[in-house]
Structure 1
Amino acid sequence: MSVCDEYYEWKWNAINLRKNYNLSCSNDNYLSQQDSCNTYNEISDACCFDHGVNKQYASPMPWIGIYVAAASLVCSLTMAANVFHGFSHRKLWFPCRFFTLNAAYLTLLGVAMKLPVDLSAGMPTPVDQLAKLTSTTFMCTVIGEEELPLQIMKNNWDATDHFIQKGEKRRPKFLKELLDKSTSFMGVARFDSDKVSSVYFVEFPNCWSLAVVTLTSIAIALPNIKDDKVKWLIRSVSEGLVYAKLVEKFLNVRSDMVNIRNAADSVWLGVDVFRMWLNEDLRKIAREGINSAETLKKLADIAKNMNGDPKEDPLNWPINLIAANSMYRISQTVLQDHEDWTHQTDETAMTSILLQAHEGSNETLFEQLSIMIADILCACLTNLPRVINMKFFCCGVEKRENSVLHAAQLIGEMEEILKILQERKLPSLDTADKLAYIDEWRDYVKANPVAFTSLNNDGTSSSGSAVLVKCRRLA
């Protein structure tokens, strides 16, 4: 029994004694009454002291309440902002843009959780009890705020299915027709010969898109090619460059590739819209050309005489000089460098192409250039499963929505093509990162030409198959 309980019991007994027996302080019972009164007073004083102490320490400190209220207000406002942002932008979940579990908000949560976590003792008044209950409810709300995006993102995959279906309706059919022309990866080795020197005696690294853009420009400039074939090639390459640029953006991360990729973008804009390679009208060159050999020589001369100011650091060279260097090397390779082609079949041999070019068989050269472009794009697109996989995990929750949906659409668009490419044998390079660079491919294929002269029929599939299956399951 507590001191206060004893106090109230003594008080009740004293009242009853005074009421029922009308006790007085006579000589006979004075001592016993005096002892009772002294004990009563001592207990009363102790109870009052104990009650005051309990009241003081059982009540939450005012400053704790102020801190908790302020922290709770900030957290509540930021969570409300997340909800408003989610509805206004039609998100699939409430993105943690304003309220995130960083150091600042963890500190605020630590203060806001003071009542339900640290103060485990009972609260003496209904107001204090309500405050503790409210803080407990707030804690549950915070936990739900952080778990909701993850729960919805894992369970609500209907949106990704929708984007996969959307991609299936937008499959690049012209690109598929172009890639069907590829029977090997040999075009990766043949488009640029080591026997041809650079215009400015500086070796630039190649990139997928610049090689494709330069080869397409040469094909457009060939004389006596039907316009519908030229339009078909341009449209096919346009579709292919969309995915080639994705590969370069995610996987060609070396600093020396940035300016070269910019050169490819700039040149292709002129070729696609105006049929212009830099300031040269490709249609005019085609009309004035007598045969393919003359056209190739003219393109090489134009590139060689390109005006510009080469910098000491090739990475800072103007875009036109980078494009000119690519045009010179590739046009000279097609025209002159045929020694590496002599061991191939008549269909793809460089010797055969040169003979046909001198005989005026422009259509055949156009077809061979198209096959070379297809080989390069096929090699490039074997990296696309890695890009799709990266887009699933490349960023935080608040930015992952668009990335995941884009990856899902890529699966729908390219699944048919990637299933075909997965049967191709890939170079056995040291790391997967090297497969992202065309120069690594070129060196390996040149060193192992027999392994890449035709489609792989030994049952060996590329590593991209497993990655594509994994990405399909993630979607």
Structure 2
Amino acid sequence: MKLITEKSTKGFQGVRKYDKNDHQDCWSLPVVTLTTIVVTLPNIEKVEVKSLLKSVREGLKYVTLVEKNLNAIDESIQKVAEKLWEDVDLRRKWLGIGLKDIASQVNKTTSQVDTALQVVKLFSEKAKNKINKAVGSQDDDPRFTSICANSMFGVTETIIGEKESNKRLFDELSSRIADIMAACLTNLPQVIAKKCHTSVIEKREASVEAAAILLGETKQIINTLQGPLQDNYLSMTTNDLSSINKWRAHLSEP
């Protein structure tokens, strides 16, 4: 709630900004990729980084719930995002590269804008190197590496190309993360309704109970997203709401 209310933009414009060339219909992967960059940025107060990580950690729980219950994405892509998030959140690593190692390569004598862009460019270079390797080491999962590296390369190239966003990159990227999660979580009522209407009698009681618990946990989020913000997506169909690509198309309309 803190991240959504403080950082999301009118119309959730960050949904269409994260990567202009990404065609994977996945909510969680761009959230994880953007968070990886944000927590590596230099000269950011630790309390801000911890707060963002906590928000993303809590938010991804519901984002993945939407993806799993509405079949919004390829399940294998979601598993990639989950594995990547585990590495970033618990091990502070991206594809085996320590986030501290990337941060240590930054020339901190330059301006804050330049140091932030250095981090973005370092991630871009490392992603490109991963993509260019035809086959990883024996311990690597080539598909996992390819999906994560392509996501990172697309996100970083988009950021580099948007000069107006570089003055306060931490806030800008936090806003994009908030917008993507907020847009995804507009689907929570659908998830709750689906749990309540399961046709398997043996599972119905447990499913309805799970729906009641989920409603209790997310009522404040749902009310916020169905308040004044609802005007931003009223013209979208129920099926369209569960697709990040449909959201991007909707937001890109003149």
TM-score range, shorter chain: 0.7 to 0.9
Is residue 2:126 matched to residue 1:302? yes
Cα distance in 2 for residues equivalent to 1:435 and 1:334: 25
Deviations, residues 240-290 of structure 1 (Å, cap 9, x unaligned): 000000110011355xx2221111011000011011112111122223323
Cα distance in 2 for residues equivalent to 1:308 and 1:242: 34
- Aligned residues: CA RMSD: 1.9
Identity among equivalent positions (%) equals 41
Residue 244 of structure 1 aligns with which residue?
63
Picking from 169, 175, 186, the partner of 1:371 is: 175
Q: Quickly say closer, same or farther: Cα 1:187–1:253, change in 2 above 3 A.
A: closer
Picking from 209, 220, 225, the partner of 2:44 is: 225
Cα distance in 1 for residues equivalent to 2:142 and 2:243: 21
TM-score by length of 1: 0.48
Residue 14 of structure 2 aligns with which residue?
187
Deviations, residues 315-354 of structure 1 (Å, cap 9, x unaligned): x961111011000000110111x3xxxxxxxxxxxx4223
Is residue 2:164 matched to residue 1:352? yes
Q: Quickly say closer, same or farther: Cα 1:427–1:190, change in 2 above 3 A.
A: farther
Deviations, residues 127-182 of structure 1 (Å, cap 9, x unaligned): xxxxxxxxxxxxxxxxxxxxxxxxxxxxxxxxxxxxxxxxxxxxxxxxx1111121
Opposite residue 434 of structure 1, the aligned amino acid is D
Residue 447 of structure 1 aligns with which residue?
253
Cα distance in 1 for residues equivalent to 2:172 and 2:118: 17
Count, aligned residues: 236
Is residue 2:190 matched to residue 1:383? no
Deviations, residues 69-92 of structure 1 (Å, cap 9, x unaligned): xxxxxxxxxxxxxxxxxxxxxxxx
Runs (4+) of structure 1 moved beyond 4 Å? none
Contact 1:309–1:318 under 8 Å retained in 2? no
TM-score by length of 2: 0.87
Q: Quickly say closer, same or farther: Cα 1:270–1:395, change in 2 above 3 A.
A: farther
Opposite residue 299 of structure 1, the aligned amino acid is F
> Which has the bigger relative contact order, CA under 8 A and spacing at least 6?
2
Contact 2:26–2:72 under 8 Å retained in 1? no
Opposite residue 252 of structure 2, the aligned amino acid is K
Opposite residue 86 of structure 2, the aligned amino acid is L
Cα distance in 1 for residues equivalent to 2:55 and 2:193: 25
Q: Quickly say closer, same or farther: Cα 1:294–1:258, change in 2 above 3 A.
A: same
Question: Following superposition of structure 1 onto structure 2, how do residues 431-470 of structure 1 map, counting pairs within 5 Å?
Answer: 431-448=237-254
Opposite residue 388 of structure 1, the aligned amino acid is I
Opposite residue 8 of structure 2, the aligned amino acid is S
Contact 2:72–2:242 under 8 Å retained in 1? no
Structure 1: gaps of 5 or more residues: 1-175, 195-202, 311-315, 339-350, 357-363, 449-475
Q: Quickly say closer, same or farther: Cα 1:285–1:259, change in 2 above 3 A.
A: same
Picking from 381, 401, 404, the partner of 2:208 is: 404
